[in-house]
Structure 1
Amino acid sequence: MADQPVPEDQKVDKDVKPKVVITFGPDEAAYSRGFVLDFGSHNVGYVSFHLGAEGLNMNTPARLRLTLGEVINVDWVPTDVAIPRRHAFRPLRVQTFDTSPKCKMKFGGIVTRSESAVPPDHPVEPCPVPETNDDGAKLLRRINAATRDHDTGRELWQTVLSSTKAALAYIGEEGIFSRGAWSGWKFLDWAKELDRDAGMYGLVILGIAGLDGT
Structure 2
Amino acid sequence: MEEPKMQTASVVIKPNEEFIQEAERLKPALLKRKVEAVQLVNVVRDEAMIHGWKAEAAGEPALLSAKELGKGDSVILDFGDHRVGYLAFDVSSVGSPPDAPLQLKLTIGEMPVEMAEPFSEYEGWISSSWLQEETLTIDVLPKRIELPRRYSFRYVKFEVLASSMKYRAILDNISCTMVTSADISQVESLDHPDDMLERIDRVSIRTLEDCMQEVFEDGPKRDRRLWLGDLRLQALANYETFRNYDLVKRCLYLFAGVPDEKGNVSANLFIEPTLIADDTYLFDYSLFFTTSLFDYYTASQDEKTLRALWPTARRQVELALEQLDDRGIVQDRQTWWSFIDWQMDLNKQASSQAILIYALKRAIRMAVWVGCESAGRLTEQLSAIEEAALKHLWDGELNWFVSGEQRQVSWASQIWFVLAEVMPAGANKELMLRLLDTPPDIGLSTPYMHHHLVEALLVSGCQEPAVAHLKAYWGGMLADGADTFWELYDPDNKTFSPYGSYLINSYCHAWSCTPTYLIRHYGL
Q: Quick check: TM above 0.5?
A: yes
**CA shift at 1:141, angstroms?**
4.2
Correspondence 1:153 to 2:434: no
User: Shift of the alpha carbon at 1:142?
Assistant: 6.4
Q: Percent identity?
A: 19
- State whether structure 2 residue 129 is matched by structure 1 residue 15: no
The structure whose residues are more often helix, as a share, is 2
Shift of 1:106: 0.4
Please report how far the alpha carbon of residue 12 of structure 1 lies from its aligned counterpart in structure 2 after TM superposition: 1.5
Structure 1: runs of 5 or more not aligned: 1-6, 25-29, 161-187, 190-214
Given the two structures, how large is their TM-score scaled by the length of structure 1? 0.55
Counterpart CA distance in 2 for 1:71 and 1:8 is 33
How far apart are 1:56 and its partner, in Å? Answer: 1.3
Query: Per-residue CA shift, 1:131-160, capped at 9, x if unaligned?
Result: 37794214444675xx9944x739xx9xx9
Counterpart of 1:113? 177
1:186-201, aligned counterparts within 5 Å? none
Aligned positions, number: 146
Tell me the equivalent position of 1:27. Answer: none
| 3-state SS in 2 of match to 1:124 | helix
Q: Which residue of 1 aligns with 2:204?
A: none
Contact 1:43 1:88 in 2 (8 A): yes
Q: Which residue among 142, 148, 152 is the counterpart of 1:78?
A: 142
Partner secondary structure for residue 148 of structure 2: coil
Are 1:104 and 2:168 counterparts?
yes
Task: Give the secondary structure class of the aligned counterpart of 1:125.
Answer: helix
Equivalences for residues 157-172 of structure 1 within 5 A: none
Q: Quote the Cα distance in structure 1 between the aligned partners of 2:89 and 2:27.
A: 24
1:136 equivalent in alignment to 2:413:
yes
Alpha-carbon contact 1:44-1:86 (below 8 Å) kept: yes
Residue 328 of structure 2 is aligned to residue 51 of structure 1 = no
SS at match of 1:10: coil
Which of 143, 158, 181 pairs up with 1:94?
158
In 2, the alpha carbon distance for the partners of 1:70 and 1:137 equals: 46
**Alpha-carbon offset, residue 77 of structure 1:** 1.0
1:192-211 matches, cutoff 5 A: none
Residue 36 in structure 1 maps to residue 72 in structure 2: no
Bigger strand share: 1
Deviations 1:4-63 (A, max 9, x none): xxx994201001111121257xxxxx9232011111122111100011111111000100
1:10·1:118 contact (CA, 8 Å) conserved in 2? no
In 1, Cα distance between equivalents of 2:148 and 2:179: 13
SS in 2 for 1:153: helix
Structure 2 gaps, min length 5:
1-25, 44-69, 108-131, 188-208, 210-236, 241-291, 296-353, 360-388, 390-402, 404-411, 432-439, 442-524
Pairwise CA RMSD: 3.9
Distance in 1 (CA, whole Å) between partners of 2:94 and 2:162 is: 15
CA deviations over 1:78-100 (Å, ceiling 9, x no partner): 11111111111111111000012
Give the distance between the partners of 1:58 and 1:117, measured in 2 at CA: 42
Distance 2:149 2:419 in 1: 44
Q: Rg larger in 1 or in 2?
A: 1
Q: Separation in 1 of the partners of 2:423 and 2:81?
A: 41
C-alpha distance in structure 1 between counterparts of 2:163 and 2:183, whole Å: 39
Deviations along 1:145-191, one digit per CA (max 9) or x if unpaired, are xx9944x739xx9xx9xxxxxxxxxxxxxxxxxxxxxxxxxxx87xx
2:101 to 36, 45, 61: 61
Helix, strand or coil: the match of 1:115? strand
Quick one: higher RCO (CA 8 Å, sep 6+), 1 or 2?
A: 1
Q: Which amino acid aligns with 1:21?
A: L
Q: TM-score, normalising length from structure 2?
A: 0.24
Q: Of 216, 239, 242, which residue of structure 2 is paired with 1:125?
A: 239
Whole-angstrom CA distance in 1 between matches of 2:38 and 2:72: 23
Residue matched to 2:276: none
Measure how far apart 1:115 and its partner are. Answer: 1.5
